[in-house]
Amino acid sequence: MTFKLVVHMVWLEKLKEYGVDEATVNEWAAKNYPRYASNRELMAKLYLALVKGIKVAEPRIAGEFTTISELTVGKTERIRVVVIQHVEKRAYVGCPKCMKKLQAAPNTTVECPRDGLVRAQVLEWNLVLVGDNTGEIMLTIPPSIGRVPNPGEEIAVEGMLTEQEEFFVYRYSTAEAEPVSVEVPAVSATVTPTTAQAVTTTPPTPPPVTVTPQAPTVTVTEAIFKCPVCNKVFKNKLGLSVHVKTAHKERSEETTPKPAEAPKPEVKPVEAVEAKPAEVKPSLPEEAVKFARVAAAINKPVEEFKAWIATKFPEIDIDELFKAAGVKVEGGVMKKVAAA
């Protein structure tokens, strides 16, 4: 009975989060689903899904997982982490469909360059600090995902490490518990010999056995990347860099040596020559083209990519970017253009 009460309270908070009154849900449930109306949690989820169009469940993230210290920039990967803290919220007014930033007041009708007339809304990007047994990293959660995980929550995350050493989240779900395997060390037995006894109908008493546990074999690998502050060891430079920036941010800024200035070359005076301004041709950032190609390789939903790329390059022409990166859109997802 207590468990059901706790679950119900969680969904009361979820209804409040989306501005829905519990009485409204109860009235709607009694009218449309009287057979199931007593299950309040079920009715709350059904109301949010049918009436509000809100996702109430996410598919489980399955596949191979990696650790934070082994992440590769620009590659879609999965990590299993625990949430440490909600660090920052970045709010802006934008289009509820493509998530592009708009110069408008909230809840006003404005024309979006991509989706036409829309009702502008306050959208939020969230930065969340997470970690595993190899280090910590910052999650960048876009407005399209919605719910932000709570501190202490274990989650499975799918996304991509950016060059800014933040993990851009495509989706996440509550992590399932993993079975823990325990290795039992082998033992050797030494049997003390006894004097032979006459054979009788009564089973002989077994001789005493001395059991000596065998120490497990330990393979020691020389550490390559070690934290200069806490001596924590990492497998690669990225894991060490992420750890120092998150765990020892202030110490890192104090101890980081400033690069020495190179000696200035001797400048000889030359005759003044009238310089003609060079013709400047617009070009796309190479980084944006690279991100577009990576997104097309994993068939990322085009609206999610547009929302993300707009935060990095607000003035970029998405059609020109797709053309330069060899990307096409089919069925709402990004795909590579087949080579001729």
Does the domain formed by 68-174 have CATH 2.40.50.140? yes
- pLDDT class of 308 with cuts at 50, 70, 90: confident
Q: Is residue 152 within 8 Å of 83, Cβ to Cβ?
A: yes
Is residue 278 predicted with pLDDT exceeding 60? no
Can you give the pLDDT at residue 179?
52
Can you give the pLDDT at residue 196?
42
- pLDDT class of 209 with cuts at 50, 70, 90: low
**Smallest Cα–Cα separation from 25: which of 4, 1, 42?**
42
Is residue 192 predicted with pLDDT exceeding 80? no
Place of tokens 């997104």: 295
Can you give the pLDDT at residue 14?
76
Helix (H) or strand (E) segment spanning residue 329:
strand 327-330
Can you give the pLDDT at residue 240?
78
Adjacent-strand bridge partners of 88: 127
Domain residue spans of the chain? 2-50, 68-174, 286-336
More confident residue, 176 or 318: 318
Mean pLDDT for the chain?
77
3-state helix, strand, coil in the chain (%, to 5): 25, 25, 45
Can you give the pLDDT at residue 189?
47
Token pair in block for residue 95: 């289009």
CA distances from 35 to 39, 42, 121, 185 (A): 9, 12, 37, 57
Measured in whole angstroms, the distance separating CA 302 from the mean position of its chain's CA atoms is: 19
pLDDT in tens, 108-163: 999 999 889 999 989 989 999 999 999 999 999 998 887 889 999 999 999 999 99
pLDDT in tens, 52-93: 888 776 667 878 999 999 999 999 999 999 999 999 988 999
Q: What is the pTM of this model?
A: 0.41
